[in-house]
Amino acid sequence: MSANIWRELAREIHSLQPGKTVLPLHEPLFEGNEKTYVFDCIEAGWVSSVGKYVDRFENMLAEYTGVRRAIAVMNGTAALHIALKLVGVQPGDEVLIPSLTFVATGNAVTYCGAKPHFIDVSKATLGVDPYKLDDYLKETAIIKNNVCINKKTGNIIRAVVPMHTFGHPVDLDPLLEVCDRFRIIMVEDAAESLGSLYKGVHTGNFGKTAALSFNGNKIITTGGGGAILTNDEGLANYAKHLTTTAKVPHSWQYVHDEIGYNYRMPNINAALGCAQLESIEGYLCKKRSLNDKYHQILSKYDGITLFKENSNSKSNFWLQTIILEPSQYSVETALKTLIENKIIARPIWKPLHLLKPFVDFERSDLSITEQLQDQVINLPSSPYLGECNDGKKT
């Protein structure tokens, strides 16, 4: 019976784009100045790590998100790595991160020589649960010399990294209160949330630093790329220095004053990003329309719930997400049947604390995380499946 339901659902999803044999999870949409800007780079010869499009893209990102500065880099993982270094994460520190996140969040912490410390998420946001974290830190941590110390390990708990899952903002105000109370720095993993707002303010404005991703499957893409966001001019300048190999500016000499990183975004990628960012409002409109379409389709199925944004947030609906009632449905059966019927769906990530590289790190109770891994599926979410104000599909 369950497989029949998923076959029926597959037919309804295919109706969103008649004639397309396979519906991928997420494809980019190029409908603006992408070719013009990329060809301009080729004609000018400025395709590598400097050029007018890098500066333009950084300025456009800062203006769009409302942050003071944006620093473009080669991918979202590099952005998060540097975002953590900027706030002082040191080898041996612990960094609180959700176990329910893409592996890049945990990897970036380890690149700093720090240790991931896994915390649980909220069913309401799929991101860090600030209330559960508060209770956990009251038992686990003490404040000593104005820093947060893990009573069990003796390590400094330096930072927390809320990840805005599938574009849905974490409940940030109570999380900021926890950070203030326990002297913990917030670094936002906003890789999936470009275009998402919390209480009217763009994600990435709440942490001391934040990271974006422009991978090929994101809201906008630069092919591969990311950005660091911050409202601190000093940190922004330091980020630019670190990500350009820590080279001291000079007309011809190569002097590097510390260990740096060749994390620069090439000009040709930034050119693509400029064109994509010019079109982002249309993409977001189509995403919201697609969410409405899925709501209509799924309303007839008992035990399958379309995840909706919270009342205090506006999501970019990067990936359309359903929550299954585990007593009625199996994630494995659903995925197998959908994929057999050319609907490329996916499960949520395997929780990091269950992955081999991370099994020995500290963790809180992760009961909600472990429940959700058996309940969450992402459905095809490409923007062309939705419509915008003119009612025309693209």
Residue 1 has a pLDDT of 53
Residue 45 has a pLDDT of 87
Query: How many helices and strands (H and E) does the chain possess?
Result: 12, 16
User: In this predicted model, what pLDDT tens digit does every residue of 130-159 receive, in sequence order?
Assistant: 999 999 999 999 999 999 999 999 999 999
Average pLDDT rounded to a whole number, residues 200-205:
98
> Cα(315)–Cα(308) distance, rounded to whole angstroms?
9
What is the chain's Cα-based Rg? 21
> Cα(87)–Cα(183) distance, rounded to whole angstroms?
12
> Cα(169)–Cα(286) distance, rounded to whole angstroms?
19
> Cα(208)–Cα(231) distance, rounded to whole angstroms?
7
**Phi and psi angles of residue 375, each rounded to the nearest 5 degrees, phi first:** -130, -20
Residue 171 has a pLDDT of 98
What tokens does 251 get? 């007309």
- Annotate 166-191 with DSSP letters as a single string: GGPPP-HHHHHHHHHHHT-EEEEE-T
Residue 141 has a pLDDT of 98
> Cα(47)–Cα(267) distance, rounded to whole angstroms?
5
Q: Which residues contact 105 (CB under 8 A, 6 or more apart)?
A: 80, 97, 98, 116, 161, 163, 189, 352
Average pLDDT rounded to a whole number, residues 191-201:
98
Q: Which residues contact 330 (CB under 8 A, 6 or more apart)?
A: 2
Residue 386 has a pLDDT of 95
Please report where in the chains the tokens 């189509």 appear, as a residue. 286
> Cα(151)–Cα(140) distance, rounded to whole angstroms?
6
Average pLDDT rounded to a whole number, residues 257-266:
96
> Under the phi-then-psi rule, with left for phi > 0, alpha for psi from -120 to 50, and beta for the rest, what region is 187?
beta
Give the percent of the chain with pLDDT over 90: 95
Q: Which residues contact 80 (CB under 8 A, 6 or more apart)?
A: 104, 105, 108, 161, 187, 189, 191, 211, 226
CB 105 within 8 A of CB 127: no
> Cα(252)–Cα(263) distance, rounded to whole angstroms?
21
- Helix segments in the chain, DSSP class H: 2-14, 34-44, 52-65, 76-86, 103-111, 130-140, 172-182, 233-243, 267-278, 280-298, 331-340, 367-372
**Phi and psi angles of residue 342, each rounded to the nearest 5 degrees, phi first:** 65, 25
Which of 289, 315, 290 is closest to 380 using CA atoms? 290
Mind listing the domains of the chain with CATH numbers?
A: 2-29+281-385 (3.90.1150.10), 34-278 (3.40.640.10)
- In the three-class reduction of DSSP (H, G, I as helix; E, B as strand; rest coil), residue 340 is classed as helix
**Phi and psi angles of residue 86, each rounded to the nearest 5 degrees, phi first:** -60, -30
Residue 183 has a pLDDT of 98
Q: Full-prediction pTM beyond 0.85?
A: yes
Exposed/middle/buried for residue 323 (C-beta within 10 Å: 0-12, 13-18, 19+):
middle
CB 195 within 8 A of CB 316: yes
Residue 392 has a pLDDT of 47
**Phi and psi angles of residue 288, each rounded to the nearest 5 degrees, phi first:** -65, -40
Residue type present at position 338: L
Whole-Å CA distances, 20 to 24, 325, 379, 385: 10, 30, 15, 11
User: In this predicted model, what pLDDT tens digit does every residue of 62-117 receive, in sequence order?
Assistant: 999 999 999 999 999 999 999 999 999 999 999 999 999 999 999 999 999 999 99
Average pLDDT rounded to a whole number, residues 182-200:
98
What tokens does 239 get? 């980020």
Residue 3 has a pLDDT of 85
> Cα(241)–Cα(333) distance, rounded to whole angstroms?
49
User: In this predicted model, what pLDDT tens digit does every residue of 285-334 receive, in sequence order?
Assistant: 999 999 999 999 999 999 999 999 999 999 999 999 999 999 999 999 99
User: In this predicted model, what pLDDT tens digit does every residue of 337-385 receive, in sequence order?
Assistant: 999 999 999 999 999 999 999 999 999 999 999 999 999 999 999 999 9
Does pLDDT of 394 surpass 70?
no
Give the percent of the chain with pLDDT over 70: 98
User: In this predicted model, what pLDDT tens digit does every residue of 2-44 receive, in sequence order?
Assistant: 789 999 999 999 999 999 999 999 999 999 999 999 999 999 8
Does pLDDT of 393 surpass 50?
no
Average pLDDT taken over every residue of the chain = 96
Residue 389 has a pLDDT of 73
